[in-house]
Amino acid sequence: MAAAAAAAPGALGILQAGRAHLVAACCARLGPGWRLSGSWTVPRVDPATWAQGWTPTAGGAAWRRGYSSEVKTEDELRVRYLEEENRGTVVLGINRAYAKNSLSTNLIKMLSKAVDALKSDKKVRTIIVRSEVPGIFCAGADLKERVKMNSSEVGPFVSKVRAVINEIANLPVPTTAAIDGLALGGGLELALACDTRVAASSAKMGLVETKLAIIPGAEGMQRLPRAIGMSLAKELIFSARVLDGQAAKAVGLISHVLEQNQEGDAAYRKALDLAREFLPQGPVAMRVAKLAIKQGMEVDLVTGLAIEEACYAQTIPTKDRLEGLLAFKEKRTPRYKGE
């Protein structure tokens, strides 16, 4: 008994050290320089660093072409920076009509390039992923391209797809998938990487890889159970079942379902409505809220609460927090700058 009692504090110490490590790892994404109250200490971040996003990249500024409503087309992916009431919203539009927006090597490269630039652009407040092709969101992997690959090429390609989808999931601002058509396999995995999903009732969604004697390989096996629960996710994956918009809403796969309109963009219009709800909020608060939820859901409650405390601390020294209080006092709309 004495030995057990002596061991218990040691085990507790290991648990606490493990939690501290998790919190520190999370906070490392916030940037250098800040301290968390209590027994966990991490560097305090400069609010200006927060405004630039979590992981600035050297190549981002060179790729970014200003901030306008002009359509920037690079073959199969269109990146649009919206203006006026939608300023701060960026739309990633997939445009491979001839291949049902399937994920090719070239499209994956362009998605990676676009995401790399967006994650360090402080003018970006929210991102919408949509299709420019009526009736299709993304049909998954480009099987015509895949069939030409030898076995040694398939693994590395799937790893690249997985990496890009993970980059989308790690974008620091809210992301919404607007599903106005078919989203199968990798297409649904792309949507699952977004924070919010909205769909037309006529849309079709499913992880159908088992029909091809493979499994979802771009994080869908992990994200689907976290979105709708393990048992139902297993059922859908084992059966390769395809759901329409109403069924997807019923199981919690999407947040909103809309009757499709004549233009075929009902989900996109709803995504714009959501974006306009996100835009007025404090940019720093939005970034840390996303981080706190994302990281907190992957750990135990105690560690999650520590992560939440760490993230809350980042909002205290910001100019935006003071502006929010002043705007409340003066009964006006706050003017946040992400500082």
- What positions carry a catalytic annotation? 141, 186, 189, 209
CB distance 286 to 174 below 8 Å: yes
DSSP string of 58-73, one letter each residue: TTHHHH---SSS-EEE
Q: What secondary structure letter does DSSP report for 205?
A: E
Helices marked H in 29-172: 47-51, 60-63, 105-118, 143-146, 151-169
3-class secondary-structure state, position 130? strand
The answer to whether the CB of 248 falls within 8 A of the CB of 205 is yes
The answer for residues whose C-beta is within 8 angstroms of residue 215's C-beta and 6 or more apart is: 209, 221, 237
> Within 13 Å, how many C-alpha atoms sit on residue 73's CB side?
6
Could you give the CA distance from residue 324 to residue 175 in angstroms, rounded to a whole number? 24
Length of the chain: 339
**Beta carbons within 8 Å of 106's beta carbon, 6+ residues apart:** 75, 76
Separation between Cα atoms, residue 300 and residue 303, nearest integer Å: 6
How far apart, in whole angstroms, are the C-alpha atoms of residue 310 and residue 288? Answer: 9
